[in-house]
Amino acid sequence: MDSKRKIVDRGEMPDELLRLRETGKTVVFTNGCFDILHTGHVDYIEFARSQGDVLIIGINSDASVRRNKGGNRPIVPQENRARVLAALESVDYVVVFDEDEPAQLVEELLPDVLVKGADWSHYVSGREAVEKNGGKVILADLTEGQSTTGIIETIEANCRADNPKG
């Protein structure tokens, strides 16, 4: 499937989910900003995919990332972030959401499995809706030493070292 066809509008998902469920597929959902894709993201996505038959990734829109991470983020625009994720073999669908968190999208999709990083064990957006519908929430271990913030800090430090006058 062409990666551009994997990027779907939110309104298209209910019909697609109905079709998938009729064939007995286990639907997995996860979400994030995925601003600068790194090996930690890839490990996380592959783990999420291993939890079912179909993986849907919700990504925060640019406006949502700015509200959550600050005005200098995202580094990569949402269209490009979605395209890179959709190109991954583990990913079946990418949906952009504009809210600060994906609770409403999770309620619309009602996945069988909701995966979130273990760093979010204190709060998983959409947990109640998934569990009420008979689904399960799984926390994924993080890949140590991998983060977008760390990558940005390394780039900034390297730029300062290359230009000591500032």
Higher pLDDT, 63 or 5: 63
- pLDDT of 158: 76
Domain boundaries, the chain: 3-162
With a cut of 80, say whether residue 129 has pLDDT above it. Answer: yes
CA distance 113 to 85: 19
- At 154, is the pLDDT very low, low, confident or very high (cuts 50, 70, 90)? low
Label residue 1 by pLDDT band (50, 70, 90).
low
- What would the pLDDT profile of 28-52 be if each residue is shown by its tens digit? 999 999 998 989 999 999 999 999 9
The reported pLDDT for the residue numbered 2 is 57
Could you give the CA distance from residue 40 to residue 63 in angstroms, rounded to a whole number? 24
- The Cβ of residue 12 has, within 10 Å, a number of other Cβ atoms equal to 11
Question: Residue 10 corresponds to which tokens in the numbers above?
Answer: 């939110």
The sheet that has 27-32: what strands, in order across it? 93-97, 54-60, 27-32, 113-117, 136-140
pLDDT digits (tens, 9 = 90+) for 19-29: 999 999 999 99
Instruction: Decide if pLDDT at 3 tops 80.
Output: no
- Please enumerate in sequence order all residues whose Cβ is within 8 A of that of 74, keeping only pairs 6 or more positions apart, or say none: 33, 35, 62, 65, 66, 81
In this predicted model, what pLDDT tens digit does every residue of 109-126 receive, in sequence order? 999 999 998 887 889 999
Q: 56 vs 72, 101, 164, CA distance in Å?
A: 27, 15, 44
Tokens of 126: 């959409």
Taking Cα atoms as reference points, which of 9, 5, 59 lies closest to residue 30? 59
Per-residue confidence (pLDDT) for residue 160, from 0 to 100: 77
Share of the chain above pLDDT 90, in %: 70
CATH number assigned to the domain with residue range 3-162, chosen from the 4 options 3.40.50.300, 3.10.20.600, 3.40.50.620, 3.40.30.10: 3.40.50.620
Reply yes or no on whether the pLDDT at 104 is more than 80: yes
